[in-house]
Amino acid sequence: MTATTTPVSRSITKSVLSREQSEGVGARVRRSIGRPELRNHDPFLMLDEFSVDKNGGFPDHPHRGFETVTYMIEGQFQHEDFAGHKGTIGPGDLQWMTAGRGIVHSEMPVKSQTRAHGLQLWINLPKEHKMCEPQYQELLDGQIPRATPQDGVVVKVIAGESHGVKSQVYTRTPTMYLDFKMDKNKTVTQIIPSTYTGFLYMLKGTTFIGDKEFEGKAHHTLTFSEDGATTVKIQTKDEDAHFVFIAGEPLKEPIVQHGPFVMNSSEEIYDTFVDYQNNKNGFERARNWHSTIA
Query: Smallest Cα–Cα separation from 105: which of 142, 136, 132?
Result: 136
**Secondary structure (H, E, C), 25-83:** ECEEEEECECEHHHCCECCEEEEEEEEECCCCEEEEEEEECEEEEEEEEECCEEEEECC
Q: Are 56 and 27 in contact (CB under 8 A)?
A: yes
C-alpha to C-alpha distance for 278 and 12, rounded to whole angstroms: 46
User: Taking the complex as a whole, how short is the minimal distance between the CB of residue 108 and ligand FJE, in angstroms?
Assistant: 8
Q: Where are the alpha helices (DSSP H) in 231-265?
A: none
**Could you tell me which residues come within 8 angstroms of residue 56 by beta carbon, excluding any fewer than 6 positions away?**
24, 25, 26, 27, 28, 109
Choose between 107 and 268: whose C-beta lies nearer to ligand FJE. 107
User: Taking the complex as a whole, how short is the minimal distance between the CB of residue 120 and ligand FJE, in angstroms?
Assistant: 4
The maximal CA–CA distance of the chain, rounded, in angstroms, is: 62
Known binding positions for Fe cation: 61, 63, 105, 107
Choose between 195 and 277: whose C-beta lies nearer to ligand FJE. 277
User: Taking the complex as a whole, how short is the minimal distance between the CB of residue 51 and ligand FJE, in angstroms?
Assistant: 10
Choose between 65 and 210: whose C-beta lies nearer to ligand FJE. 65
Q: Are 146 and 118 in contact (CB under 8 A)?
A: no
Q: Indicate the DSSP class of residue 225.
A: P
User: Taking the complex as a whole, how short is the minimal distance between the CB of residue 60 and ligand FJE, in angstroms?
Assistant: 10
C-alpha to C-alpha distance for 158 and 72, rounded to whole angstroms: 12
Choose between 29 and 232: whose C-beta lies nearer to ligand FJE. 29
| SS3 state of residue 290 | coil
Query: Smallest Cα–Cα separation from 91: which of 140, 126, 150?
Result: 140
Choose between 43 and 260: whose C-beta lies nearer to ligand FJE. 260
User: Taking the complex as a whole, how short is the minimal distance between the CB of residue 254 and ligand FJE, in angstroms?
Assistant: 19
Distance of alpha carbon 209 from the chain centroid: 21
Choose between 103 and 234: whose C-beta lies nearer to ligand FJE. 103
Choose between 164 and 259: whose C-beta lies nearer to ligand FJE. 259
Which residues lie near ligand FJE (CB under 6 A)? 23-24, 29, 48, 50, 58, 61, 70, 107, 120, 259-260
C-alpha to C-alpha distance for 54 and 179, rounded to whole angstroms: 26
Known binding positions: 61, 63, 105, 107
User: Taking the complex as a whole, how short is the minimal distance between the CB of residue 272 and ligand FJE, in angstroms?
Assistant: 13
User: Taking the complex as a whole, how short is the minimal distance between the CB of residue 147 and ligand FJE, in angstroms?
Assistant: 27
